[in-house]
Amino acid sequence: MDASKHSFIILANTFREQTHQEWNDKYLQSFGLVTPDGKLTNAGLLFVDNCTVFQSRIFCTRWTGLYKDDAISSIEHRANLVLLLKYGMDFIKNYTMSGWVKMPNYRLNLPDYSDRAIFEGLVNHLIHRDYTVMGGEVHIDIYDNRVELVSPGAMLDGTQIQDRDIYKVPSMRRNPVIADVFTQLDYMEKPGSGLRKMRELTEKLPNFLQGKEPQYQTEATSFYTTFYNLNWGENGRIPVEEVANRVNSTLEKYPVNEESSEKKYPVNENSTLKKYPVKRNTNKPVGRTAQRIIDMVISNPMITREKMADKLGISLDGVKKQIKNLRERGILTHEGSDKSGYWRIIVKP
């Protein structure tokens, strides 16, 4: 199919927005979407603006309870992969909730799910699904107590993911061109880290409970990812006051003194608590900008300072100043390297 008859405006605009770099049409060939003689590849068909590939669909449903009984809302989208990711995330955000608790000097969000973990999950399903299955599509099913993502295509090596150690699963890409494009869009990092990252991102939430880690399962022709509602218990939705009390009593899990925090959460020299000793008498409420940074970190612990600056509309130096203040007040810290580490809100009563 002649590539000149199709446009990639959505892909180009997304590339600019995600990378802050100018788009060049030469990328279409280097990404593997267009052949040297100007023909669309199979992957290219999935990224054109007017994508008509029948299998490029997602089905989104919010069910009334814990099972597939009656539906509150159900919608089908057929579009290119960039738009499918957006539509899927928009649906999930519309039908999930987030409570919050007032801390001494800031507001702490207590979301049902990790936004970034679910984003990673949906990216994973769009990248690794089997596009040769006619009539197959990615399903997003939201229940009261969980979100399930389902896509056609089991493990390439025939194993069952539920029988594997997710920290030792090698990278085997069914659709390498799609994976490379999503990497170029900064939607994913190194191959093979998605399952681990989803679990770690969920565990970073202040209201996380053991046993509510994301679960993965494969059947003969399908892959399932399940995220559990962190604010849902055996008797239904947990009152936010109860969640807040549990979070406020987790000093052992989230130590705030310098010695124990360094011992349990070793970090690199550039981000250690020694560089940002906790100041006392810091009960003055944080400002609006600092509160937005706290909200961003809860939503995406992997967010970069550059992305913060972009979302806040301030300079990078301004972001660094706000972060320095939050760290000195014992509210914010960073685990791991600057490139692959995580921000963490230090919960204290």
Amino acid (one-letter) located at 55: Q
CA distance 196 to 12: 30
309-325: average pLDDT: 94
Task: Give, for 140, the enclosing helix (H) or strand (E).
Answer: strand 138-142
Confidence of residue 261 (pLDDT cuts 50, 70, 90): very low
Q: 125 with 66, same domain?
A: yes
For 247, other C-beta atoms within 10 Å of its C-beta total 22
Which range has highest mean pLDDT (265-269, 315-319, 336-340)?
315-319
> Span 284-290, mean pLDDT?
92
78 and 217 inside one domain: yes
Confidence of residue 144 (pLDDT cuts 50, 70, 90): very high
Q: Is the pLDDT of residue 265 over 70?
A: no
**In a domain? residue 317:** yes
- Domain membership flag for residue 256: yes
What pLDDT score was predicted for residue 291?
95
CATH number at residue 298: 1.10.10.10
Q: Are residues 219 and 320 in the same domain?
A: no
* Tens digit of each residue's pLDDT (9 = 90 or more) over 71-81: 999 999 999 99
In angstroms, the Cα distances linking 196 to 42, 117, 191, 199, 292 are 29, 10, 11, 5, 27
150 and 266 both lie in a single domain: no
* Token pair belonging to 247: 């979070």
* Cα 184 off chain centre by: 16
Kind and range of the H or E run holding 151:
strand 146-152
CB atoms within 10 A of CB 314: 14
User: What pLDDT is attached to residue 190?
Assistant: 63
Same domain as 134, residue 19: no
The DSSP symbol for 5 reads G
Instruction: Give the Cα separation of 310 and 292 in Å (integer).
Output: 12
pLDDT of residue 279: 55
Residues 70 and 169 in one domain: yes
- Report in angstroms the alpha-carbon separations of 254 from 67, 260, 344: 35, 9, 9
Range of the domain at 339: 250-345
Handedness of CA 65, 68, 70, 75 (dihedral sign): positive
Q: Return the amino acid letter for 115.
A: D
pTM (predicted TM-score): 0.84
If asked whether residues 32 and 90 sit together in one domain, one would say no
Whether residue 204 sits in one domain with residue 74: yes
In this structure, the answer to whether residues 227 and 320 fall within a common structural domain is no
In contact, 49 and 80? CB cutoff 8 Å: yes
- 13 and 150: one domain? no
CA atoms within 13 A on the CB side of 81: 24
| 273 shares a domain with 203 | no
Which amino acid, residue 221?
A: T
Amino acid identity at 328: E
- pLDDT of residue 115 exceeding 80: yes
At 162 the pLDDT is 85
Give yes or no: residues 28 and 63 share one domain. Answer: no
| pLDDT tens-digit series, residues 203-255 | 989 889 889 999 999 988 899 999 999 999 989 998 888 887 777 665 444 44
* DSSP symbol at 43: H
